[in-house]
Structure 1
Amino acid sequence: MATIKDIANAAGVSLATVSRVINNGPKVGDATRARIKEIMKEMGYRPNANARALVTQRNPSLGVVLAELSDPFFATLAHGIETVARQKDIQVLLSSGSIQAKTEMKAIDTLMEHRCEAMVVHSKALSDEVLVDYAKEIPGFVLINRYIEAIADRCVWLDNYAGGASIAKHLLSLGHKKIAMISSQYQIDDPILRLKGVEDELNAAGITIDKTAIELATPDQEGGETAMQNLLSKGIEFTAVVAYNDAMAAGAMSMLLDHGIQVPSEVSVIGFDDVILARYCRPKLTTLKYPIEMMGIKAAELAISLAAKKQIEDSAIVTHKYTPTIVKRESVAIANK
C-alpha cells in the first residue's frame, strides 16, 4: 500500500505539501493540488487515520534537527533538549541538517512522518518563507539559534551582533588597535553578525579593520589553523585575533605557537561559544559564553508547550533572546605595542 512518503516522492514535493492536500490545507497551488490527487489515485492511496495523524494526532516525541551531530556545540545543545524530554518522559528523535537546504527539509519532513508535533529545529539553509510555512503546519515548531520576525514567538536566538560588539569593547579596553579576524566561510547570519558587531564597535572608536586582516575558513580547528597561516603569510601586523568560535581559536593558537609566537604576550586570541575545549586549551581560552544548553532547555519547553496547545504568555516572548557574555581566562592580555 502506498504511503504519504511514496506520494511525496512521486510528486517531487515535501511531506508537508502532501499533508496539506490530504487535509484540505492552504498554501498549495491548484495545479500542484490536482497533480498530487491524481498521483494518489494512480497509486491507490486513500487518506486514513494514520495519514491524518500527521496533523491531527499528538505523539509523545520531540523532534530535533541539528546542523552537525559530532560538534561539541551541538552536543551541548542536544543535552539541554534531552534534559527536558527526560523530565517529561518524552522520546527524542534526532536528525542532522548539515547546513544544506535539501537535507534540512528532508530531516523536518522525516520527523513529520513520525508524527512529531513538538520540534526544535536548527536551520541555517532554508529560507524564512519555508520555515514560516513549517511553523504553520507543525503546532510545536520552534527555531533555535535563528530569528524570524513573522514567528518571533517561536524563535530562541542569540544576539550575535551584541556578542561581536562585546569582543571589540574588551579588546579596546586592553589597548588593542591592530586586530585581525578569522571567521566562518559559511555565509549565514552568525558569522556575518559577529563580524559586523566587531567592525561597528571598532569604527566607533576610529579604528578600521583592513579587509586583508580578515580570513574565512571552515569553522573548526583545521580552519583556524589555515586562516592563521594565511594571515601570517601576508605579513600583517596584529596584536589580537578574534575567532568565529572556540574551535577556530584553538587552531589559530596552535599555528601561532608553531611559529614561535606566544599567546597572549605577543598576540591575544579570543573565541566564541565557551565549549569544553575552551577550558582545556593552553593557554585557557578567553571567549564569549553562548548559553546554548540553557537555550536548548528553553526551546524544548516551548515546543512541548505549543504542541500541547498551552497558552504562552506574551511576556515570555522577550526571554527568547539571549546575550553572550565574556569569560575571561588566559589567552587575552594588554596590548604589547
Structure 2
Amino acid sequence: MSTIKDVASIAGVSIATVSRVVNNGPKVGNKTRDKVLKVMAEIGYTPNANARALVKKKNTTLGVVIPALNDPFFASLANGVERIARDKKQHMLLSTGGFSCESELNAINLLIEQRCESMVVHSKKLADETLIELSKKVPGIIFIDRIIPGIEERCIWLENMEGGKIAARHLLALGHANFALLNSNFDIEDPNLRRKGFVETIENANSVQAIIQEINHEPTLKGGEMAAQQLLSLNKPFSAVFAYNDAMAIGAISVLEDNGIRIPEDVSVIGFDDVLLSQYSRPKLTTMHYPIENMAENAAKLAIEFGNNSASKNDFKHRYIPSLVKRESTSSCLD
C-alpha cells in the first residue's frame, strides 16, 4: 500500500508539501500541486481520512445508522444525510442496525471505531439510558425519529400521534364510520402513537357511531396484503382503511381490488410516509407526508455542528408535524 512518504519521494518534495496538497492547503504552487496529484494517481495513494482528521483537529466523517437498506423510507433518510455530507465535504459512512438492541449498538460502535464523531442515528430498540450515555461519548450523535427526555437538543422527531389524528379527521370529513386499521406489529413507539391518535379522534367524534377493526402485521407490501386478506376473512363491513405506512396501504389495495373492491369508490385507503411509490400506485395514494429527507438534512447539519463543537442553540428545527397529501385513494362515503 502506498504511503505519503512514497508520494514525497517520487515527486521530489517534502512530506509537508504532500500533506498541504492533500488538505488543499496554501503555499503550494500549481506546478508542484499538479506533480504531486499526478504521482498520487499513478501509485494509487489514498489519504487516510482518520489521519487527516487528527491533523486538522476537525471531524470530517459523517455517519448514519438506519435499520435496513431495502426500505424506501430509510433510503430517503440516508439520502438526506448524504446530501449534506456532500455539501459539507464530509465522508459518509453508513451502518445498518436491524431491529434489535444488539444490532443497533453494534452499528453505532462500528462508526465509533471508525473515529466517526458526527452521526445521525435511527434507533428504536436501545433504551433511553443507553442513548444518553452514547451522547456523552460521541460529540456529534443526533437521534432521528425519536425524542429522548434530557437530551432533546440532540433529537429530531415527528409527531406521530398528530399524524393519526389528521388521517382520522380526513376520513371522518368524508363521511366514513366503519374503519379498518392496518398497523405494524413491530414493537416500537411509532405504530402505537399513530394508532392512539387515530382511534381517539374517531372515538371522540360525536357525530358518528364508529366501528374500528384492527389488524397488525409486518409493515411491508406483503404485510399489507396479508393484513387485507385477514380483514376480508372477518366478513365485517368497512369503508375506510388507515395503514401504518404506504407499503401496507399499497399491499392492501392490491388484495382489495383483486377481490372486486374498488378504491376509492367502495373503500377509501390512506397511508403514511409519502414515499415515492405512493405517487405511482394505482390509484395514487392519499397519505400522510413524513418529511424524512428534510429532517435527515437538518439532523446531519446538527450532527456536524455538535461534532465540531460549534452547535448553535437556535436555528434548528427539532419537532415536525406530518401533513395530509390528498390523491386518488380516498373519497366520500357513498353509504
Q: TM-score by structure 1 length?
A: 0.81
Report the residue type matching 1:150 in the other structure.
G
Q: Deviations over 1:4-62 (max 9, x none)?
A: xxxxxxxxxxxxxxxxxxxxxxxxxxxxxxxxxxxxxxxxxxxxxx9xx99xx654101
Q: Deviations over 1:120-144 (max 9, x none)?
A: 0000010111011101111001001
Where does residue 42 of structure 2 map in the other structure?
A: none
Where does residue 331 of structure 1 map in the other structure?
A: 329
1:301 aligns with 2:292: no
Q: Deviations over 1:282-326 (max 9, x none)?
A: 00000010000000100000000001101322x346x21101000
Q: C-alpha separation between the residues in 2 aligned to 1:132 and 1:209?
A: 42
Q: C-alpha separation between the residues in 1 aligned to 2:121 and 2:334?
A: 44
Where does residue 163 of structure 1 map in the other structure?
A: 163
Where does residue 274 of structure 1 map in the other structure?
A: 274
Map 1:190-229; keep pairs closer than 5 Å.
190-206=190-206, 213-229=213-229
Residue identity over aligned pairs, in percent, reads 48
Where does residue 90 of structure 1 map in the other structure?
A: 90
Q: Deviations over 1:49-91 (max 9, x none)?
A: x9xx99xx65410111001111111111111110100011101
Report the residue type matching 1:323 in the other structure.
I
Q: C-alpha separation between the residues in 2 aligned to 1:302 and 1:209?
A: 44
Where does residue 179 of structure 1 map in the other structure?
A: 179
Describe the SS at the equivalent of 2:273. coil
**Retained in 1: the 8 A contact 2:65–2:120?**
yes
Describe the SS at the equivalent of 1:99. coil
Report the residue type matching 2:97 in the other structure.
G
Q: TM-score by structure 2 length?
A: 0.81
**Retained in 2: the 8 A contact 1:58–1:116?**
no
Q: C-alpha separation between the residues in 1 aligned to 2:229 and 2:239?
A: 15
Map 1:227-306; keep pairs closer than 5 Å.
227-306=227-306
Q: Deviations over 1:207-252 (max 9, x none)?
A: 57656x1001010000000001001000121100000000000000
Report the residue type matching 1:333 in the other structure.
S
Shift of 1:112: 0.5
Where does residue 28 of structure 2 map in the other structure?
A: none
More divergent stretch after superposition (164-173 vs 59-68): 59-68
Q: C-alpha separation between the residues in 2 aligned to 1:304 and 1:292?
A: 18
Moved over 2 A (4+): 206-211
Report the residue type matching 1:320 in the other structure.
H
Unpaired segments ≥5 residues, structure 1: 1-49
Unpaired segments ≥5 residues, structure 2: 1-49
Shift of 1:150: 1.2
**Retained in 2: the 8 A contact 1:58–1:117?**
no
Q: C-alpha separation between the residues in 1 aligned to 2:142 and 2:311?
A: 15
Describe the SS at the equivalent of 1:297. helix
Describe the SS at the equivalent of 1:64. strand
More helix as a share of residues: 1
Q: C-alpha separation between the residues in 2 aligned to 1:276 and 1:77?
A: 13
Q: C-alpha separation between the residues in 1 aligned to 2:99 and 2:321?
A: 23
**Retained in 1: the 8 A contact 2:179–2:211?**
no
Where does residue 142 of structure 2 map in the other structure?
A: 142
Q: C-alpha separation between the residues in 2 aligned to 1:176 and 1:311?
A: 48
User: Which structure: larger Rg?
Assistant: 2
Describe the SS at the equivalent of 1:272. strand
Shift of 1:99: 1.5
CA RMSD of aligned residues (A): 1.9
Report the residue type matching 2:330 in the other structure.
V
Q: C-alpha separation between the residues in 2 aligned to 1:160 and 1:148?
A: 15
| Number of positions where the alignment pairs a residue of Structure 1 with one of Structure 2 | 283
Q: C-alpha separation between the residues in 2 aligned to 1:58 and 1:134?
A: 20
**Retained in 1: the 8 A contact 2:177–2:211?**
no
Q: C-alpha separation between the residues in 1 aligned to 2:320 and 2:258?
A: 37
1:322 aligns with 2:335: no
Q: C-alpha separation between the residues in 2 aligned to 1:167 and 1:104?
A: 31
